Amino acid sequence: MSEAQRKLYDRITSGPRGAFRGPFTVWIRSPEYLDKLEPVGEYLRFKTVLPPRLSEFAILIAARLMKAQYPFQAHEPHAVKGGLDPAIIDALRVRRRPGNMKADEAAVYDFATELLETKFVGDAAYKAVAAQFGEKGALDLTALIGHYTMVSMTVNAFEVPVPEGVKPPFPV
């Protein structure tokens, strides 16, 4: 590891993530990129106006629609810990619209799936998110979805596997 890589490794493992795995094992190949990307990811994961239950839900939606096993399995426990009903996660796993979602969950689901599937967000989906979280929340959600789409592309392009002994969360 170069000095720049070592500094990034130490910064990331001593931060809120506490570990260095998954897409970080790819991004470290470009320390300049990772140095800029990591604070953005930290903001999007830990500091937006969205509560953890919903930010983790959006991450799972992006990972599932991108067919990215690694981030889905990595964030599933965080979603449950944040209060997301496991039945909602099970529906995502098989690409079904979850039933019995709360209003804020339905707003996030509709916004995220519409953006990822059509590349646009219609008025109804946008208004539902903005009503729940304001303009800043709509931007935070959009950026979070975009970031985890990129995370998913990274792990898919570089074939980052789920950890040894972990069952893949869904068939590809």
Residues 92 and 143 in one domain: yes
Total domains in the fold of the chain: 2
Domain encompassing residue 90: 52-157
| Under 8 Å between Cβ of 64 and 72 | yes
Reading the block at residue 91, the tokens are 């529906």
Rounded CA separation 161/167 (Å):
10
Q: What is the pLDDT at residue 54?
A: 99
pLDDT digits (tens, 9 = 90+) for 77-130: 999 999 999 999 999 999 999 999 999 999 999 999 999 999 999 999 999 999
Residues 99 and 139 in one domain: yes
Residues 122 and 149 in one domain: yes
CATH number at residue 83: 1.20.1290.10
